[in-house]
Structure 1
Amino acid sequence: MKLLDNPIIRNIAGYSLIVLGIIGLFLPALQGILLILAGIYVLQHHKIKHTFAKIYHVVRKKQKNNK
């Protein structure tokens, strides 16, 4: 996810997913709710990472040990 470390790209990707999700609510070919949730996740991932930095590092360490 190095690409999403850039805040401009992250914001563009997040808002694009949300817009596609809103369009997807009316079009049967797109999964609207899923795209909206993905957009929110992309926009909030960075904030969650900094807010819960200690928990985040513990979880990442355990994930690396499991691989």
Structure 2
Amino acid sequence: MSVYALARSTMEQALERAAAQGYNEQEMARALMSEVIAVYKRDRSAADVAHELGFLADNLDDDADYAFMRP
């Protein structure tokens, strides 16, 4: 199983557990994002984490090429 498949499976399980406890997907996603950032900060600088998050934010459109790609 790839790490991405593992993450997807983990997310699905977390969302199911959150729903069972009365939390919606957005609440759980935000809490998980906070935990992911905490893990990033263990070994990365704040600037590096901000750069990573900025890259992800800049590339949210699934139909667009990544900003660094050339035509």
Structure 2 length as normaliser, TM-score? 0.30
Higher relative contact order (Cα pairs below 8 Å, separated by 6+ residues): 1
Instruction: Indicate the structure with greater helix content.
Output: 1
